[in-house]
Amino acid sequence: RPYVDYLVSEQNVKNIFVNGTTGEGLSLSIQERKQLAEEWVRQGKDKLDHVIVHVGALSLPESQDLARHAAAIGASGIAVIAPFFFKPTNKDELVAFLQKVASEASGVPFYYYHIPPLTGVKIRVEELLDGIREQIPTFQGVKFSDTDLLDLAQCINKNESEQFAFLYGVDEQLLGALAVGANGAVGSTYNYLGRKTNLMLQAFAKPDHALAQKYQFLIGEFLNFVIKLGKLYTALVPSYILKCRLNAPEILLLLYPQNFLPERFHNEKLLLMQFPELIAAGSSKGADQASLDRTHSHFLPSAAKRASKL
């Protein structure tokens, strides 16, 4: 609950994308994913606008099970990633998989989670969307986590009448996505950079493009700096900035070197010196949350065109 309070009051983030990439959904057991989804829905009641649960899995029955569970607990929507071991090779195969999952949660808004850099599934979203609602009546939009802004722009241009939500997922390129019509964002940094990103959205909506560009450059510089510190530290940056306890990422638990903690404290000092205006957003309000102990992606509706239809 303190983490939810922090997101709402400190970062103006009121929408959560649970068990996605940042939340390590695909590294968790089915039971763990269900427990996290239940807790986010429970803790976010009356405080969060939307809790979208990612239910994608390599196994179709598991994905269907997660979809039924998300519907039963009252999730605002579900999202599905393309299976990425035995990959769909064309639009029809991918749509068939998505439809079989969506049908298990009838009435729940459905989102396709497009992230080809990780899945290797490079079926263009523009092609996927052609006639999609005939197959999936609950289809609501796309979490578009790719740098192909041409594909995104064509999706938006050709589907304006459908009022789909196009939620961009590459934080360092959000301003470019807004320029071609993205109406929201789901990213890995908004739990601690949400306030700055909201300022960028407000500047874009005015429009004050020079100010929006300034915020995007600042966020980009921060991400570039942190990434250079290495994956181990990058994964723990939210814990430092939020000043609340988040578990170490499961996928990296066995990789920590013996000298990691001394290096971490050194890198924290570097962060503070380099980006005081961003680090100052940290808060102690999220002190000790036991159940919400994993970083998740957070959805920011665009100030220019809010996706209130979610």
- CATH number, domain containing residue 122: 3.20.20.70
pLDDT band at 124 (very low <50, low <70, confident <90, very high): very high
Please give the sequence-ordered ranges of beta strands (E in DSSP) within the chain, or none if there are none: 15-18, 50-54, 77-81, 110-114, 139-144, 165-168, 184-187, 297-301
**Predicted local distance difference test score (pLDDT) of residue 308:** 29
For residue 123, being part of any structural domain is answered with yes
Which active-site residues does the annotation give? 113, 143
**Predicted local distance difference test score (pLDDT) of residue 291:** 28
For residue 245, being part of any structural domain is answered with no
Overall domain count for the chain: 1
For residue 229, being part of any structural domain is answered with no
Query: What confidence tens digit (pLDDT) does each residue in 137-185 have?
Result: 999 999 999 999 999 999 999 999 899 999 999 999 999 999 999 999 9
Residues spanned by the domain of 202:
2-209+290-301
Residue 296 has pLDDT above 70, yes or no: no
pLDDT band at 2 (very low <50, low <70, confident <90, very high): confident
For residue 80, being part of any structural domain is answered with yes
Residue 160, Cβ neighbours under 10 Å: how many? 10
- Rounded CA separation 64/61 (Å): 5
For residue 284, being part of any structural domain is answered with no
- What are the structure tokens assigned to 258, written together? 């013996």
For residue 34, being part of any structural domain is answered with yes
Mean predicted lDDT score pLDDT of the chain: 83
Mean pLDDT of all residues in 284-293: 29
Mean pLDDT of all residues in 181-206: 92
Residue 202 has pLDDT above 50, yes or no: yes
For residue 17, being part of any structural domain is answered with yes
For residue 219, being part of any structural domain is answered with no
More confident residue, 236 or 214: 214
- Rounded CA separation 193/258 (Å): 30
**Predicted local distance difference test score (pLDDT) of residue 305:** 38
* Segment among 27-41, 59-73, 109-123, 292-306 with least mean pLDDT: 292-306
More confident residue, 238 or 282: 238
